[in-house]
Structure 1
Amino acid sequence: MMRIWLYSLISFSALCASPISTPLLTVEGERAAIEAPNLRVGMSGFIVRKFDTTHSTIIANARVEQTNPSNNRAILQISKYDGLSQSALPSGIWSPKPSDEAIIAYDYGRALVIAPNEDTYESITKSIPNIEWIHPDNYATFLSHEGHPTPLVQDFHDYCTANSIGLLYIQSAQTLFTLDCKSFTLLDSAPSIPKKGSAQTPFFTHVPKIRAAWWGTGSSQLGSYEPYYLEQIALNNSTNHNLYELYKAKFSDKSALLHHFQIKE
C-alpha cells in the first residue's frame, strides 16, 4: 500500500488536477496545435465553441497525440464527438478552428479500478486521494447488458464516455497501470503489490455473474485475469517504448507479449 501511496503523490498533480483549458492555435484537417503544460500522450478531452458569453457547445473529441515539453506545445487528434448518444436531439456540423477551446482531462477526477480481488481494490482506492471512484459493480452491470463477460476496450470507452469517467486503473503483474479510460492509452505505471487472494475474473465485483451474449467478441468467459489485461494494454500501446521495456524486464525478452509491440531495437 505504501508504494501505491507514494505513486499517487508523484502522479496526482499531472493526472488528477483540474481540467486543462487552452485555445487552439492552428488547425489542419484532423490535427490541432495547442500550448499547455503537463500534457501526456493519450490524454482525452473535447473541443468547445463559444457562440457568445452565455452559449457554447462541444463540437469534437480531442486526444493528445504528440507533446513537446520544451515549449509546452502539443498536437491533438480531432474526431467526431460521441459523448451524446441521444439521436433524437439536433446536432450541429462544425469544424474546429483557431480560437475554439480545447478542454483536456475534464473528467480525470472520476476513475474506475480493475483489480483481481476486493482487498486490492480497497487498497488502491484508499491510497489515491481526491478521486470519485466508480464501483466496478456498475461496470459489471453494463457488461451484462452488453453480453460481454470478457470486457472489450470498446466497452471501457463506451462506459467511461457515457459516465464521464476519465481514468482507468488496472492492477496486474505487480504493477498499477494508469490509462485514459476513453482512449485506453497508458499514462503511467508504478510498482504495486496486490493483496493476497485468488484473482476474480473478469475483475473484482459483487455481481455474481455477467450475462453472456450468444456469440461475438467478448461473449466468452474470461479464463485468466492477468494475461488478458496485460495483452490488451500491450495491443493498445504498441509503440510505447517504456511499456515495452517494462514487459521485457518482467517477463524476459522471449515473452509472447512483446510480439504485440511495434518497437525497433
Structure 2
Amino acid sequence: MRIWFLLLLALVTLEASSISTPLLDVQGDHGTIESAELKVGMSGFVVRHFDTTHSAIIANARVTQTTPPSNRALIIFSEYDGIRQNSLPNGKWSPKAQDEVIIASDYGRGLLIAPNDDTYNAVSKSIPNIEWTHPDLYATYLSHEGHPTPLVSDFHRFCSAGSVGLLYIQTTETLFTLDCKNFSLLQTLSSNSIGKESKTPFYSRVPTIRSAWWGEGSSKLESYEPYYLEQIALNNPKNKELYELYKAKFGEKSALLRHFDFKE
C-alpha cells in the first residue's frame, strides 16, 4: 500500500522548470507576461540586460493573476532581496517592457516540513527531481533567530538566502505545496502522514530550537498541524480551492474558514 501511495504521489506532484519570458508591458508596480505554464503565487525576478555581456536582477516578481485563454499573466514587482550586500551600490532601475522575467528558477530545490521521520523519508523519496534542503538546516536557522515557532517571514528569509523555491507541508491527510518565498499555495494532494507521532515545530534531528526572550515566534509551538493549517489559510485568503478543502475536512463551522475574505 505504501509503495502505491508513493508512486501515485510521484506522478502528480508539481513539477516546474524555470520559465523565461519578456515583460510585455508595465503599469506602476504591475506588469504582463505570456506563458501557459504559470500558476498564481509563483515567484521569480526581473532581469535587465544592459548589453550582450552585462545584466542584473532589478526586482522580484510574483504571479497574481492568470488568463488561460490568452496565456497572459499579471505579475507584481517588489524590491529584490535575494542577495544583500550593503557595501556595494544599488541600482535604482524600474522594470520596463522587454526586460526578462524568470519565474520558478529555484523550484528544483525544496524544503519539506513533516511531523515525523517516517513521513519525511516517505514523502521526500517519492517526489522526483527535487534537491532537498534538510530541515536540520532550517531548525538551526530558527534557533539562531530564537523562533521555536517558525514565522512566514522566517521561511521567506531562509528560502531567499538558500535559493529554495518550494515548500512542502505534510499534514495528516494532505500534502501542501507552496512557494517558499511568499507562502502562496500552488498545489494540494491527498496523502496520509505515516504514524501518529507529531514532532513540533517539525521533524528534524536538532534536539532544541533556542527561544528568544520575547517577540513573535519566541514561544514553543504546542501543536503541529493546527498551526500550519492556520498559516496556510492566513496567507491564501482568496484561494477558493483551499476554502472548499477546509470546509470539506473540518466542517462549515471550522474556525479556519474565518481567515478567508470572500463570500460563497
Q: TM-score range by the shorter chain?
A: over 0.9
Alignment-derived partner of residue 37 in structure 1: 36
Aligned 8 A contact 1:4 1:192 in 2: no
Aligned 8 A contact 2:200 2:224 in 1: yes
Residue 264 (1) aligns with residue 242 (2): no
Deviations 1:35-55 (Å, cap 9, x if unpaired)? Answer: 011100000000000011111
Counting matched residue pairs gives 262
Long gaps (5+) in structure 2 = none
Alignment-derived partner of residue 141 in structure 1: 140
Where 2:85 maps in the other structure, the secondary structure is: coil
Where 1:86 maps in the other structure, the secondary structure is: coil
Q: Distance in 2 between matches of 1:57 and 1:106?
A: 15
Deviations 1:181-211 (Å, cap 9, x if unpaired)? Answer: 0010000001110111410000000000000
Q: Distance in 1 between matches of 2:20 and 2:241?
A: 28
Give runs of aligned pairs for residues 151-166 of structure 1, distance below 5 A.
151-166=150-165
Where 2:73 maps in the other structure, the secondary structure is: strand
Letter in 2 for 1:179: L
How many Å apart are 1:4 and its aligned residue?
4.7
So what's the TM-score if we normalise by structure 1? 0.97
Aligned 8 A contact 1:239 1:262 in 2: yes
Q: Distance in 1 between matches of 2:16 and 2:246?
A: 29
Alignment-derived partner of residue 219 in structure 2: 220
Aligned 8 A contact 1:3 1:191 in 2: no
Q: Distance in 2 between matches of 1:168 and 1:10?
A: 16
How many Å apart are 1:146 and its aligned residue?
0.5
Alignment-derived partner of residue 116 in structure 1: 115
Deviations 1:160-194 (Å, cap 9, x if unpaired)? Answer: 00000000000113100000000100000011101
Q: Distance in 1 between matches of 2:187 and 2:17?
A: 18
Letter in 2 for 1:176: L
How many Å apart are 1:85 and its aligned residue?
1.8
Deviations 1:25-66 (Å, cap 9, x if unpaired)? Answer: 000000000001110000000000001111110000000000
Identity of aligned residues (%): 64
Q: Distance in 1 between matches of 2:181 and 2:25?
A: 24
Deviations 1:88-134 (Å, cap 9, x if unpaired)? Answer: 12211100000000000000000000000000000011000011000
Letter in 2 for 1:242: E
Deviations 1:218-265 (Å, cap 9, x if unpaired)? Answer: 000000000000000000001100000000000010001111111211
Letter in 2 for 1:19: S
Alignment-derived partner of residue 73 in structure 2: 74
Q: Distance in 2 between matches of 1:8 and 1:98?
A: 38
Aligned 8 A contact 1:44 1:104 in 2: yes
Alignment-derived partner of residue 10 in structure 2: 8
So what's the TM-score if we normalise by structure 2? 0.97
Q: Distance in 2 between matches of 1:188 and 1:255?
A: 22
Q: Distance in 2 between matches of 1:101 and 1:5?
A: 37
Aligned 8 A contact 2:168 2:177 in 1: yes
How many Å apart are 1:11 and its aligned residue?
3.5
Q: Distance in 2 between matches of 1:30 and 1:88?
A: 27
Letter in 2 for 1:211: R
Q: Distance in 1 between matches of 2:148 and 2:45?
A: 30
Where 1:122 maps in the other structure, the secondary structure is: helix
Alignment-derived partner of residue 23 in structure 1: 22
Residue 178 (1) aligns with residue 180 (2): no
Residue 51 (1) aligns with residue 50 (2): yes
Alignment-derived partner of residue 235 in structure 1: 234
Q: Distance in 1 between matches of 2:10 and 2:58?
A: 33
Aligned 8 A contact 2:13 2:127 in 1: no
How many Å apart are 1:8 and its aligned residue?
3.3
How many Å apart are 1:68 and its aligned residue?
0.7
Alignment-derived partner of residue 205 in structure 1: 204
Alignment-derived partner of residue 194 in structure 1: 193
